[in-house]
Structure 1
Amino acid sequence: MPHQMPARKTASTCIAEHVQGSHVFSIFGYSKHRGAGMGEFVRSGAFSVGGNEWAIRFYPDGLRENSKDHITVYLELLSKDAKVHASCDLRLVDQSTGLSSSVDITAPRVFNQRDSSRYAPQHDTFKNRSEFEASSYLRNDNLAIECVVTVMSEARVSETRSSPKVDVPPSDITEHLGKLLEAKETADVIFSVGEETFAAHKIVLAMRSPVFKAEFYGPMRQRGAQAVTIGDMQPNVFKALLHFLYTDDLDGNDRGEMIRHLLVAADQYAMERLKLVCQSFLCENLEVQNVATTLALADQHHCGILKDACIEFISSLNTMDDLVATQGYVDLKRTGASILLDAFVEMRERSYKRLRSAAP
């Protein structure tokens, strides 16, 4: 299967540029400013942040009826006809420590000098008067208001950049595992099959087959055993089995008879993937001459997919004469009559279902 490269990626960044400045408005003789009346204010000197003029408004008696028990503080945009994207943090300075604490923060928004949006915050109740007058923000009849203004400028966007293109070759792990199989000096188990011996690695076999895992690492394993005799398999089949264990490849062992032997071996060692590979091959190569033999094999080794394919193939035959004449059918009739009976019952049920579905 060809190696598919991941989609090419590009990237860019956006950085929010801003300018920040602060102004401290000190008010001496707080009590002397009281009593001027609701809506009366003291304005700070103008200060510049981000190329625009700003000022702080202080209302000692509040602005409106809803703020008569509060002091009111506003930031005001002064620059004529200006529209500014900004935020502000209105703070009170502790007269004992000189440190300031936030009282009201306005999130970034547009200040328009032409309407009421030139003020921030958008409410009148800055600080409860009785709390304020009892706090360390007022000392010796003096207070200080600090305003931190952050003006947002046009965002800076970087040029689009491409991620480096690296050509990654296809996976070669099976190639390395195949070489490991050939490297007999690193093997830790020897299999004796007929007149031949095969060196292998327990950990690889255990990784691929639960039967080998139980044999080499299970509670009934023979500790220290280095030789294993395989008495029920031909050497060339075991060699093909080992090759598949290491490489997941049949390596040209895709002849019909070999595939049948590998199916038996796959069932014996609980190698489900190899079992499916073998079923797929046999399903695609069903013929009148081999279907009976294949049906017996599928039933014996619990290959449901292959068994269904054999029954479907037999059902599609125009005549049973050629099938009955095969040696496989003769053998199956002699040794597996029940299999044939089940197959014919299944064929009859399928034929009945097809007739029912075709009926008007």
Structure 2
Amino acid sequence: MAEPCKIPAAMVAESVERSYVLKIDGYSRVKGLLKNGKFVASTPFSVGGHNWTVKYYPNGCPKYCDDFISLYVHHESAGAKEVKAKLTLNVLDRNGNPVPSYTRTTPVNTFSKKAPTCGYYDFIPKDELEGSAHLRGDCLTIRCDVTVMKEIEEAMVPPSDLHRHLGDLLKSNDAADMTFQVDGQRYSAHRCVVAARSSVFKAELLGAMEESSGSTIVIRDMEADVFESLLHFIYTDSVPPALDVVMAGHLLVAADRYNIGRLKVICEEKLCSHIDSNMVATSLALAEQHGFRRLKEACLQFLASPSNLEAMMTSDGYEHLKSSCPAVLKELIARIIPAEFTSAKDIIMTMWK
């Protein structure tokens, strides 16, 4: 009565698809034998490791659908886990091609033990089908395409460990081809790594400058521990977790000197977020002398408070700020004195000349 025709499964990217053709010979006889709610079932077929059955209801299901042919696909795998699948149900013409007006496609459904069936109660109006050319010789051919969505486990990409390998290379000195001499200390390094991380070092080490021909480079005006932290950042792109404000200030100057942008941002942010009355004069002098605008603005905003300004004037760094950066103090005075007191502002400005 129900003649199945199996088509081999095909793997499609993240899904497995298979078609099953159900041929109903003696359409009228089957319609007369089976009342509403009764069905013809196909033999089970497998798609994606799951068994499926097509159920054909010649007089519809449920009761109020007796004017329709109902068609459902049932997930047969007992006790199986949930499976996601999409269905396409077609009436085939005499050439075996789907009839567009009798083609229905479901969205992706989750088939489970509680909900094992999906399909259409109103798949085809019986009177419409019986008046069409698609019921040939009292034979109806229906194709069911089942596409099972494969669960593909995403590969967990480990985080980059390039910094660790380069850090190990720095520690081991393997293949080191140059030496930095800083404040009486010697540090082995790799010319290509250092040059790749700093445009200034690149010009010194790979350019036409005198340093490019030697194996030992002398770094002046920098303490050894500051250069060691600078070199560590060059290889690992990281600063010590417990970076203190004093070291951040020294590293900021070093990063600016060798044009290491990311280190400059890290150190300037550290100083901006740790401004207090004891350090603000030193930080403001640093910002003014080296053109660190964000740090300068953060210091000036902090000193806009009279109590903070008063405390800064008693700190150790105030005299250095006063003697080395008088212009920034004038700028500070111009900010904190109200605009209406222009005469007083002019007198104070004259005193700073």
Cα pair 1:16 1:153 within 8 Å, conserved: no
Q: CA deviation at 1:347?
A: 4.0
Q: CA deviation at 1:162?
A: 4.1
Q: Does 1:237 align with 2:226?
A: yes
The aligned residue for residue 254 of structure 2 is 265
The aligned residue for residue 212 of structure 1 is 201
Distance in 2 between the 1:350 and 1:261 partners? 37
**Under a length normalisation based on structure 1, what TM-score does the superposition of the two structures give?**
0.58
The aligned residue for residue 146 of structure 2 is 156
Q: Does 1:115 align with 2:115?
A: no
Structure 1 residue matching 2:144: 3-state secondary structure: coil
Structure 1 residue matching 2:218: 3-state secondary structure: strand
Cα pair 1:212 1:269 within 8 Å, conserved: yes
Distance in 2 between the 1:16 and 1:161 partners? 13
Q: Is the alpha carbon distance of 1:205 and 1:311 closer, same or farther for their aligned partners in structure 2, counting shifts above 3 Å? A: same
- Number of equivalenced pairs: 248
Distance in 2 between the 1:268 and 1:173 partners? 25
Q: CA deviation at 1:163?
A: 3.5
Q: Is the alpha carbon distance of 1:180 and 1:275 closer, same or farther for their aligned partners in structure 2, counting shifts above 3 Å? A: same
Pairwise mapping of residues 60-99 of structure 1 onto structure 2 (< 5 A)?
A: 85-88=90-93
Cα pair 1:193 1:234 within 8 Å, conserved: yes
RMSD, matched Cα? 3.8
**Under a length normalisation based on structure 2, what TM-score does the superposition of the two structures give?**
0.59
The aligned residue for residue 50 of structure 1 is 23
Cα pair 2:16 2:150 within 8 Å, conserved: no
Cα pair 1:299 1:339 within 8 Å, conserved: yes
Distance in 2 between the 1:275 and 1:119 partners? 79
* Structure 2: runs of 5 or more not aligned: 1-12, 28-57, 60-66, 70-88, 103-123, 342-353
* Identity value in percent: 32
The aligned residue for residue 279 of structure 1 is 268
Q: Does 1:341 align with 2:341?
A: no
The aligned residue for residue 17 of structure 1 is 19
Q: CA deviation at 1:270?
A: 1.0
Structure 1 residue matching 2:101: 3-state secondary structure: strand
Cα pair 2:15 2:147 within 8 Å, conserved: yes
The aligned residue for residue 7 of structure 1 is none
| Among candidates 285, 290, 295, match of residue 306 of structure 1 | 295
The aligned residue for residue 190 of structure 1 is 179
Instruction: Render the CA deviation track for 1:127-186: whole Å, top value 9, x for unaligned.
Output: xxxxxxxxxxxxxxxxxxxxxx9954333343x654447666543322211101112131
Higher relative CO (Cα under 8 Å, sequence separation at least 6) belongs to: 1
Instruction: Render the CA deviation track for 1:58-77: whole Å, top value 9, x for unaligned.
Output: xxxxxxxxxxxxxxxxxxxx
